Structure 1
């Protein structure tokens, strides 16, 4: 699919390389001439333009993109790009980088953002995931549906150890998507018993998180 990235700095270029490796078409947009260097990633399209200008996005043919990523170091730019992509070009998926945590509340569907990525929040979640056992850790927020990807590590002595998944009293607004057990990734089935140390990954609404914790850690 065709993906446009606003911001050709280190972050934007890293995303572009990853997407190109996965077989996608990538367009990099940046208004700074010094950053528009096609020789760095010759497989990508390049456009020297202000991504906050509607005419620039028309030149970029943003209507042909399935995904737009606001990856600049300026939150205002990322928000404007997101809003224009969603409202003027009906881009199906808009992803935006949050540079400053104080601005996180702005990055929602009102500004056209489907998925907001906050580096401080991701790093904090990874730290929590590494040290937290028996607690719900939010790894990622899916803004479009207001759901979260969460992780719970099953503690030693949890009452549900050895219990098959079908017997867990999980809330209806949650789905277990994977079990990480040692070096294995297990697709959950109703007959799969849980083991202490299992890392359980769920997609769930925020209000379902307390019920998940009760079901897997205190049942």
Structure 2
């Protein structure tokens, strides 16, 4: 009863219970993300960057993307009101991710692509987006910066990922899920999906490509 009364008192007073920051960070860490390095020019025109995994698409019309920058980071002041590039790192760019996260590797040479007409970007990334500043929002201990995408490119490379506080690379591709379900809602047997795939190939005509079903 005492526990229940305490809960009611806290709720009625409008004071939320205190959160365990360590546990909250652990909960956030269960969401796997890609890894980016956001690059820009400093006041002297030199290329700079910061590793971030807080990045998301926002809108297609207009084309917008959002990054979340810690207020304590040097990049926070440098990125506001400046064009920037979101470099989505490939799996073989772990050294780049570490370098821009404040853990430089001896002998590392950053492969910059730097022209006067656009913010700097990093060669070898799986994708990149040149952005102009569009809007900035208060995000507590972070600043939310929305950029309007002006140019972009992508390649079919395995991305670098981040999960449970560790850098990773993607594992095996999951099998394609069945396209039909039983009447009770359960997935149909695996052979049903194979028949569907074989039927789709037959409908499309004979092909010289090997059949892998």
Identify, as 1 or 2, the structure richer in strand: 2
> TM-score, normalised on structure 1?
0.19
Identify, as 1 or 2, the structure richer in helix: 1
> TM-score, normalised on structure 2?
0.19
Higher RCO (CA 8 Å, separation ≥ 6 residues): 2
